[in-house]
């Protein structure tokens, strides 16, 4: 499993993946971390897929991350007496708390928190934004609207309220049950849906209690507004472009994506770009040119990882989708201007020994023909700081913790090897060179840069840098 790309691939598991052999093929094709989508499937399905991944991890002796993606609140209208209605532009339409089946004049909205948050003049979107309404009046148990963009509306279609912050926890009763199950199973990451404000991250952290790392999904305008504070509180960010593209104008999504990537890199938080990256490969063995360009743009902007959703979960060509994603990543990373673009966006270093050393190894790897950067890290923090610098050479993170190694599977340029804790300074160079060679990252005559914290085993003590030649 010699690393051949720096941007990671997060692939969603689902019914298209039939067993251990399929998982192994996906990993060998370039997947670094797998997603269990708790919006679909039963606990038994997720447990089985979890075991498949862990078996492949054991077979390959290669850390593989597993992320559980919580469903979050699903806001939907009620049912219609005839199953569906046709709404015309300009007509009046009411949404209320009455559970009676609806008609062309009204429908049940079983979410009092939406009615409480909306005000006249605000927008209301239904069915992934296909139907749009403007609120004209608000009552204690209903809202009156005018149809701005009409069409067919049927039972249980989704509701989006882009201009309001709902007094609603991102964790439903179902999410809490799923979270308990996932943490007991041993997932490495938890993706939190429906994040609106920093307090949502605090609530989730209290439930997770350090048993997994937390990834906030940015899919609501209010989360974009509070991005900095949210990113500070979580361990990683996902640009969830599906729901985000419903709640903000589509033309704003590329700029928001770029802003999120820039912010996350500055803060040293891994960032994943997600949703419909190779959507056509659900049913086709080849992507569209626009999709290839979309993936390439995310890679060029400096994202840590890109995600496949239905392409691998339920598509007809899951392996081909991963292979294509890997080829696009490698093509961009091997381009003549990739590193220059990353250097332009390099964030300001903080006044710490770890950042000073991370800056130094980036400069060294630009001056010398460095084959690998070997970093000893107990918690993974110093490896993440090195990743933030986007050096030209691959970062080989040596850690005694499998938990840490799995955490780093989402971070740019980091490949981890679980290694027993060092006890002597003299062991640093020999062990690093031996592992770099064994991993296929260096050969005789190559230059390797090694960083570590001495004394060993104390997080936050990275203070040593060595330049060694493999003899």
Residue appearing with tokens 């989006």? 160
**8-73+170-335 placed in CATH 3.20.20.60:** yes
pLDDT, mean of residues 382-398: 93
CB 227 within 8 A of CB 262: no
76 is catalytic: yes
Of the residues 12, 145, 263, 275, only one is catalytic, namely 275
Q: What pLDDT is stored for residue 352 in this prediction?
A: 85
* Ordered strands of the 462-469 beta sheet: 414-418, 394-399, 370-376, 447-453, 462-469
- Does the pLDDT at position 439 exceed 80? yes
Number of continuous H segments (helices) and E segments (strands) in the chain: 17, 21
- Does the pLDDT at position 75 exceed 70? yes
Measured distance CA(457)–CA(175) in Å, rounded:
36
Answer CATH for 84-160 from 2.40.33.10, 3.40.50.720, 3.30.360.30, 3.30.360.10 = 2.40.33.10
Of the residues 76, 94, 174, 346, only one is catalytic, namely 76
- Does the pLDDT at position 423 exceed 70? no
Cis geometry, peptide bond prior to residue 259 (ω within 30 degrees of 0): no
Q: 324-374 pLDDT, tens per residue?
A: 999 999 999 999 899 999 988 888 888 888 889 888 988 898 899 999 999
Measured distance CA(154)–CA(86) in Å, rounded:
9
Q: What pLDDT is stored for residue 263 in this prediction?
A: 97
pLDDT, mean of residues 48-58: 98
Residue appearing with tokens 């204690």? 140
172 is catalytic: no
Q: What pLDDT is stored for residue 422 in this prediction?
A: 67
Please state the domain extents for the chain: 8-73+170-335, 84-160, 348-469
- Does the pLDDT at position 426 exceed 90? no
Q: 177-220 pLDDT, tens per residue?
A: 999 999 999 999 999 999 999 999 999 999 999 999 999 999 99
Measured distance CA(257)–CA(304) in Å, rounded:
13
- Kindly report the backbone phi and psi dihedral angles of residue 93, in degrees, each rounded to the nearest multiple of 5, phi listed first: -150, 135
Please give the share of the chain, as a percent, with pLDDT higher than 70.
97
Of the residues 5, 217, 385, 388, only one is catalytic, namely 217
Measured distance CA(196)–CA(194) in Å, rounded:
6
35 is catalytic: yes
Same fold, 84-160 and 348-469: no
Q: What pLDDT is stored for residue 365 in this prediction?
A: 86
Alpha-carbon torsion (51, 30, 436, 459), positive or negative: negative
User: Which of 137-141, 151-155, 454-458 is predicted least confidently?
Assistant: 454-458
Of the residues 5, 8, 35, 49, only one is catalytic, namely 35
- Does the pLDDT at position 463 exceed 90? no
Q: What pLDDT is stored for residue 425 in this prediction?
A: 67
Q: What pLDDT is stored for residue 456 in this prediction?
A: 65
330 is catalytic: no
Q: What pLDDT is stored for residue 302 in this prediction?
A: 96
Could you give the angle at the alpha carbon of 9 between the alpha carbons of 11 and 244, nearest 5°? Answer: 75
Answer CATH for 348-469 from 3.30.1360.120, 3.40.1380.20, 3.40.50.300, 1.10.10.60 = 3.40.1380.20
Q: 111-125 pLDDT, tens per residue?
A: 999 999 999 999 999
């Amino acid at each position: 499993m010699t690393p051949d790309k720096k941007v990671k691939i997060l692939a969603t598991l689902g019914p298209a993946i039939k067993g251990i052999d399929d998982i192994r093929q996906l990993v060998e094709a370039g997947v670094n971390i797998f997603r269990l989508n708790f919006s679909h499937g039963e606990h038994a399905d997720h447990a089985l897929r979890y075991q498949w991944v862990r078996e492949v991890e054991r077979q390959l002796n290669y850390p593989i991350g597993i992320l559980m993606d919580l469903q979050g609140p699903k806001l939907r209208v009620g049912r219609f007496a005839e199953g569906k209605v046709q709404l015309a532009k300009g007509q009046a339409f009411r949404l209320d708390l009455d559970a009676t089946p609806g008609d062309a004049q009204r429908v049940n909205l079983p979410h009092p928190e939406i009615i409480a948050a909306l005000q006249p003049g605000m927008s209301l979107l239904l069915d992934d934004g296909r139907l749009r309404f403007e609120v004209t009046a608000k009552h204690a148990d209903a809202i009156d609207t005018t149809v701005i963009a009409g069409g067919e509306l049927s039972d249980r279609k989704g509701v989006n309220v882009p201009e309001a912050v709902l007094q609603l926890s991102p964790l439903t009763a179902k999410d809490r049950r799923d979270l308990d199950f996932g943490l007991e199973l041993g997932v490495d990451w938890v993706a939190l849906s429906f994040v609106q404000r920093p307090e949502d991250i605090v609530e989730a952290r209290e439930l997770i209690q350090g048993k997994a790392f937390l990834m906030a999904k940015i899919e609501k305008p209010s989360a974009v507004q509070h991005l900095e504070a949210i990113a500070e509180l979580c361990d990683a960010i996902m640009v969830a472009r599906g729901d985000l593209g419903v709640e903000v104008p589509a033309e704003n999504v590329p700029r928001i994506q770029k802003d999120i990537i820039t912010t996350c890199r500055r803060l040293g938080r891994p960032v994943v770009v997600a949703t419909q990256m190779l959507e056509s490969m659900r049913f086709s063995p080849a992507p569209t040119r626009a999709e290839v360009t979309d993936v390439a743009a995310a890679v060029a902007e400096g994202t840590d990882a890109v995600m496949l959703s239905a392409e691998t979960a339920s598509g007809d060509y899951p392996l081909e989708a991963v292979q294509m994603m890997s080829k696009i990543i490698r093509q961009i990373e091997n381009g003549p201007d990739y590193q220059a673009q990353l250097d332009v966006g390099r964030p300001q270093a903080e006044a710490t020994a770890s950042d000073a050393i991370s800056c130094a190894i980036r400069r060294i790897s630009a001056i010398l023909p460095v084959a690998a950067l070997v970093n000893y890290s107990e918690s993974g923090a110093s490896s993440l700081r090195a990743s933030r610098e986007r050096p030209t050479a691959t970062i080989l993170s040596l850690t005694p913790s499998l938990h840490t190694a799995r955490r780093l599977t989402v971070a740019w340029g980091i490949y981890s090897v679980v290694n027993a804790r060092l006890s002597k300074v003299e062991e640093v160079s020999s062990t690093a060179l031996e592992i770099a060679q064994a991993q296929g990252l260096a050969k005789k005559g190559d230059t390797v840069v090694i960083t570590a914290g001495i004394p060993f085993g104390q997080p936050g003590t990275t203070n040593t840098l060595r330049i060694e030649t493999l003899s």
